[in-house]
Structure 1
Amino acid sequence: MPHIAIIGAGITGATTAYALLERGYQVTVLDRHRYAGMETSFANGGQLSASNAEVWNSAATILKGLRWMLRSDAPLLMNPKPSWHKYSWIGEFVGNIGRYRANTIETTRLAIEARQHLFSIAERENIAFDLERRGILHIYQNKAGFDAGLRVNTLLQQGGLDRRPVTPDEIRTIEPALQSTSYGGFFTPSDATGDIHKFTRGLADACVRRGATFIHEADVDAISRTGEGFRIGWNDTASQDAAAPTRHDLQVDGIVICAGVASRHFAAMLNERVNVYPVKGYSITVQLDAPQSREAAPTVSLLDEAAKIVTSRLGADRFRVAGTAEFNGFNRDIRADRIQPLVDWVRHHFPAVDTSKVTPWAGLRPMMPNMMPVARAGRIRGVFYNTGHGHLGWTLSAATAQIIAEAIDGWRDLSAPSMVPSQVDTTETTHAAFL
């Protein structure tokens, strides 16, 4: 079987490796960190949320962004400093407003499919990741927000999702710990939550048991075509001599780019354009050390539509709260003025929760202008992309891994000696929405 290299050991790299191993491929995963899942797959909101499949390409999003530009605590914040990458991305984002409806429906369908793959993997490999299958509750503070939610709900239902409106009384029944009042909400009983980092690490271990090789602390800086395959070169960042790091290379038959926000860089090395932009998100993990805090924190996952904040209960003693979108390039700084609104939100809605022990985090979401993941073959035969999942990488990864594995199966069959590779175009997949 062909030897496939995967660049990136986050959630998309790990699920792709697993899907390929199930089909019998030889798999090597390269990542610049010492462990799997150390970037965007480290501390996200935790939601496996088909109910959050609405894409952001709408005039309403543009108007909100303009209103929020001067607020440091705004749910969506943009650094106005000129950048060709940023403004070209925004131009393409606006150009995809006409695809809002179709892309939301397609993302919903993919999210529902992905959940089943992920639950099956976790059960088969006995991966413990604080899974809670209690559903997700969306809350709205006023009639205008709720009416907008009704319009979105129509699209989610067309995608096959069971998401129903709930009254304020029903909200209190679903999550009694919630101390604030809402105009109304929507409940999706089939959605779930879990710790993405625990899952990614557990899945990486399962891949190793199945025969995969993980090469960590590998700074990949060269990809070249060699005959029918590829040579990948990297520096060992764990080398004792920082001035002269140890040099390595690897010969493989095919490559999958699963590098998150770095995917644009690797695509450029292959003379291809994948317009991923890094959109920063923040989270806090509240330690629920005291019994009073554990009782006061919610067990059902929440999404506050006005604040753009999501929550997950991760086991008995952790409460994850995440949100905001910041367009500020590759800046990974954790800003106090972006963390404070998350802490304040907890204090407002769950006043009995002790917020004296809070761990802040920031990660860069890899977003495409159409808000759809890139799951396709590249222009060079043997190169594939599984990236650009934006705010739904945790939710969609198990399904896009299957799309890529199917595409690689097709490439392998077309590369058999009985075929004539130069006469067949493998850049098409059955999921045209992700091209």
Structure 2
Amino acid sequence: MKTIAVIGGGITGVTTAYALAKRGLDVTLYERHRYPAMETSFANGGQLSASNAEAWNHWSTVVKGLKWMWRHDAPLLVRPSPSWHQLSWFAEFVRAIPRYRSNTIETARLAVAARQHLYAWAAAENIDFDLKRKGILHIYHDKAGFDHAAQVTRLLAQGGLERRAVTPEEMRAIEPTLAGSYYGGFYTESDASGDIHKFTVGMAAASERLGVRCVYGHDIGRLSLGSHGVTVEAQGAHRYDGIVICAGNGSRRLGAMLGDHVNVYPVKGYSITVNLTTPESQLGAPQVSLLDDATKLVASRLGQDRLRIAGTAEFNGMNRDIRADRIRPLVDWVERCFPSVSTRSVVPWAGLRPTMPDMMPRVGRGRAPGVFYNTGHGHLGWTLAAVTADAVADAVASAAQQATGRRPASSA
């Protein structure tokens, strides 16, 4: 197995193509947009956050979803017009609740391991993506939220992540621009933030330098299996020895063509990019990345003149509308927490996170020989992409070795 098609030009597809090319495989990347990273990898919250590894599969999440169903500005919003896909996803979500602890621990382990790959790749390829290695500060308004975070911290520690409780006074020392009154916080010094779009575009260019053929502006019409591999129909039929599906929310449709059930659901998130156009705004915006647990919002400083605020979770199918009543709470949060920051220039965005019901990405082999997946990372695609790309590349390279009897090239 020498020729590999990678479907999807977001963060998971581009890093997968890069990892495969580093192992000496002949890779073609397909992306339906004209450029890489134009959907969920375009304007997310920017956090490389092992500290946000807690799985959502918890009865408290279910209660919040029911309680907030009619609140248009709710952090978690389920639109009351369910489809069969949504209902089946929720059923699998509930069945995964007993695995909440183990999945949280495993996700933390993956997130910690992902860092070495991402930082090494960025350094090797000289990619500037506004990286800030200043940690992430989780902030809590009440004792209940803080106490739950303490329990989560113990799970994260089992996954190899160290984070520490901090007092309101320590919070102000960590991020002096943060206004408001808080019960306490948790600080993870090893976390970071950066611009996912810049990183993905840089990695796509690095992949091309390694010989990856990037085919942009091509929708996948059909995938079919044969005795000699997989045929990709995209402005013509093209045969490959193997395929890796990294197509985000499109993975469900493509997986079905290959005989696999990949139950990703599009969980919509919103973001705003605040342009820091004045010296006062630049001085008044945070340098440390933040997560407000009560509002489910994150903040990341991107360079000198941008502040990214993102979050919320909306279950509304493939709806990509940017709603004013969902954007307004993000702007209000900035004005409340960072009153010196001007919100005169704000760019809104919405993206659909491809999420598996158990909050664990689908990584590895499919049912048919030569079929692999790296998809369904949910809100942690940016955080986990490097390690899952490396894992699936190992699996593909191992299959190639078995097929040819030769040792695959090193990823170093």
Quote the Cα distance in structure 2 between the aligned partners of 1:412 and 1:278: 33
Quote the Cα distance in structure 1 between the aligned partners of 2:149 and 2:225: 49
TM alignment of 1:357-368, pairs within 5 A: 357-368=345-356
Q: Secondary structure at the match of 2:397?
A: helix
Give the match for residue 255 of structure 1: 243
Of 328, 345, 350, 1:340 maps to: 328
Give the match for residue 124 of structure 1: 124
Residue identity over aligned pairs, in percent, reads 61
Of 394, 403, 407, 1:406 maps to: 394
Q: Kindly indicate whether structure 1 or structure 2 has the higher relative contact order, using CA contacts under 8 Å at least 6 residues apart.
A: 2
Deviates more, 1:16-25 or 1:220-229: 220-229
TM-score, normalization by structure 2: 0.97
Amino acid in the other structure paired with 2:258? L
Give the match for residue 410 of structure 2: none
Quote the Cα distance in structure 1 between the aligned partners of 2:297 and 2:222: 39
Deviations 1:324-383 (A, max 9, x none): 000000000000000000000000001111001000000000000000000010001001
Deviations 1:210-256 (A, max 9, x none): 1110000001111122332121111xxxxxxxxxxxx3222211000
Of 307, 325, 340, 2:313 maps to: 325
Give the match for residue 409 of structure 2: none
Amino acid in the other structure paired with 2:165? P
The answer as to whether partners of 2:364 and 2:395 remain within 8 angstroms in 1 is yes
TM alignment of 1:218-367, pairs within 5 A: 218-234=218-234, 247-367=235-355
Q: Secondary structure at the match of 2:404?
A: coil
TM-score, normalization by structure 1: 0.92
Give the match for residue 135 of structure 1: 135
Quote the Cα distance in structure 2 between the aligned partners of 1:97 and 1:391: 18
Offset at residue 184 of structure 1 (A): 0.2
Compared CA separation, residues 222 and 290, structure 1 to 2 (3 A): same
Give the match for residue 397 of structure 1: 385
Give the match for residue 105 of structure 1: 105
Offset at residue 398 of structure 1 (A): 0.3
Quote the Cα distance in structure 2 between the aligned partners of 1:281 and 1:8: 20
Amino acid in the other structure paired with 2:286? P
Deviations 1:254-281 (A, max 9, x none): 0000000110010011122100000000
Offset at residue 70 of structure 1 (A): 1.2
Quote the Cα distance in structure 2 between the aligned partners of 1:379 and 1:141: 47
Alignment RMSD: 1.0
The answer as to whether partners of 2:361 and 2:374 remain within 8 angstroms in 1 is yes
TM alignment of 1:198-213, pairs within 5 A: 198-213=198-213
Deviations 1:137-170 (A, max 9, x none): 0000000110010000100111111100000000
Give the match for residue 53 of structure 1: 53
Q: Secondary structure at the match of 1:62?
A: helix
Quote the Cα distance in structure 1 between the aligned partners of 2:329 and 2:378: 22
Q: Is 2:190 the counterpart of 1:190?
A: yes
Amino acid in the other structure paired with 2:343? T
Deviations 1:3-44 (A, max 9, x none): 100000000001101111110001100010000000000000
Q: Secondary structure at the match of 1:415?
A: helix
Amino acid in the other structure paired with 1:16? T
TM alignment of 1:361-400, pairs within 5 A: 361-400=349-388
Hey, which bits of structure 1, 4+ residues long, moved more than 4 A? none
Q: Secondary structure at the match of 2:236?
A: strand
Quote the Cα distance in structure 2 between the aligned partners of 1:64 and 1:9: 34
Structure 1 unaligned runs (5+)? Answer: 235-246, 419-435
Quote the Cα distance in structure 2 between the aligned partners of 1:156 and 1:350: 29
The answer as to whether partners of 2:259 and 2:368 remain within 8 angstroms in 1 is no
Amino acid in the other structure paired with 2:186? F
Amino acid in the other structure paired with 2:34? R
Q: Secondary structure at the match of 2:300?
A: strand
Offset at residue 417 of structure 1 (A): 6.5
Amino acid in the other structure paired with 1:339? I
The answer as to whether partners of 2:225 and 2:231 remain within 8 angstroms in 1 is yes
